[in-house]
Amino acid sequence: MNRPKVTLYCLSHNYGRYLSEAVESVLAQTFKNWELILIDDASEDETARIGEQFHQQDPQRIRFFRQANRGGIRPCANLALEESRGEYIMRLDADDFLDESALLVLSTYLDQHPDVALVYPNYFYVDPAGKVVGVENRKRIGREAKLLDLPPHGACTLVRKRILKNVGGYSETATAQDGYELWSKILHRYPVANISTPLFYYRQHPDALSSNESQMLTSRQQIARELVDRTRGKVKPRIVGIIPARNNHKTLPNIVLTPFAGKPLLDYTLEAARESGIMDALLVSTEDVRVAEYCQRLPDLLVRERLPSLSQPTTRVSEVLHDALMHLETECGIFPDVLVMLSVHSPLRRHEFIRQALDTLLLHPVDSILSVYEDYDLHFSHGENGLLPLNPGMHRQLRFEREALYVDNGAILAVWRDVVTSENHLGRKIGHIVMPRDRSFQIKTPFDAWLVERILLEQAREPQSA
């Protein structure tokens, strides 16, 4: 058998109802120099029967593997990588399918651009029945997107196999987001490219793995941590946590020390900062002597009693952060490389998100990282003829990249020290991490305080009832 140019692999766990359409789209390709690896990941439906039928139909080009125990996407991807004979490799999800020209267009691009490690196309959204409901037009690299912190879709990205093997394939620690890992490993080592033509059909249905936000965000945290650990040497950046603790809110008197579910609000942020394990020092900046005295009784905690003029409703974050930085360097003799600012009003933020913010800052060429949540609600602005939707795709429950709306939840800011001035604390290149919306609540009103305490009380009861 001659070596195929392209290896496609398609794994199915109980997606037999879609699998035939995915495979038929490979058989229909105008480009014929391919092989297909089908993997049944311990399915309980008709996947095995369908996979074996296609193998029998074209045994030279279609191979079939059956996993007795479910391994998930990453072990299956590594199996395909080991078994692959092709020069290029692509994952095709069992519930998606290809345009007939996909392999021709993508493989020709890599042939003509030997320095490019991977190339990915735009794609169509289809409903469970396969009807087109929208098209995703990705931002063009180098033109519309210069900060490449948004990875392509994990499926239907064509990669040079030697490069994927050179970066070690896929970690099997995480359970999802193999595309995010691939992007993070390759992005700063090799050129990447995209094609503006839609070349595959991405099915939207309730069982889709990409609809599980919690699993997706957890996997991204694990991937970022592993990649940073792999690249770190002896010398590490000095990281200082800054907790602004303004306590003179008119509608929330003494909010910093107010008990929530049995302990002062401030303690939730202090605990998350310490549990993150990344802080070389931790400083609380406050105008209130009561907060300062409380903090001075706690071990390994620095306190900055700032001027009342830096605790007004009009005071900018950059002024407070710069004041804390000057105190660290001139009064404490601590010269940080990275500042991590944590809002005292965000007690639902977990320590894993703090680590992820730092890891993301270290992985990407950015000045700062903000924590955000993605807003899926339909939003409008006022136009000439009334209200105009900012994200019209949400009429059809589609989240288009160009329409994505992110809300700064105020929970975490990680920034390189050299960026911070009294006028600017973000720099020019601003990256982000996504937190779940239910972890992004910020206490700004008495109602917020009531709601957050209810959530904290419920969380405190969960371990006892488990």
Q: Show the low-confidence residues of the chain (pLDDT under 50).
A: 464-466
Tell me the CATH number at 34: 3.90.550.10
- Sign of the dihedral through C-alpha 186, 188, 190, 194: positive
Burial class (CB in 10 A: 0-12, 13-18, 19+), 201: buried
Last residue of a domain, one of 231, 265, 285: 231
395 lies in some domain: no
Structural domain count of the chain: 2
Q: Are residues 151 and 57 in the same domain?
A: yes
pLDDT tens, position by position, 244-288? 999 988 899 999 999 999 999 999 999 999 999 999 999 999 999
Same domain, 37 and 170: yes
Residue 309: C-alpha distances to residues 283, 321, 424 (Å) = 19, 14, 18
Based on the fold, state whether residues 207 and 248 are members of the same structural domain.
Answer: no
The pair of structure tokens assigned to 251 is 């509608």
Q: Which amino acid is at 257?
A: L
Domain containing 273: what range? 239-381+403-457
Same-domain status, 189 and 243: no
Considering the domain architecture, whether residues 27 and 74 belong to the same structural domain is answered as yes
- 418 burial type by CB count under 10 A (0-12 exposed, 13-18 middle, 19+ buried): exposed
End residue of a domain, out of 187, 211, 231? 231
What's this model's pTM, rounded to 2 decimal places?
0.84
Q: How far is it, in rounded angstroms, from Cα 216 to Cα 456?
A: 24
Q: Specify whether 82 is located in the same domain as 199.
A: yes
Domain boundary residue, one of 231, 262, 282: 231
Residue 95 has which token pair? 């519930």
Cβ atoms of 271 and 232 closer than 8 Å: no
> What backbone phi and psi angles, to 5 degrees, belong to 186?
-95, -30
Distance CA(231)–CA(307), nearest Å, equals 41
**Taking a C-beta distance cutoff of 8 angstroms, is the pair 276, 351 a contact?**
yes
Same domain? 214 vs 331: no
462 in a structural domain: no
pLDDT tens digits for 217-234? Answer: 676 666 666 666 666 666
Shared-domain flag, residues 260 and 363: yes
| pLDDT per residue as tens digits for the range 61-79 | 999 999 888 878 788 888 8
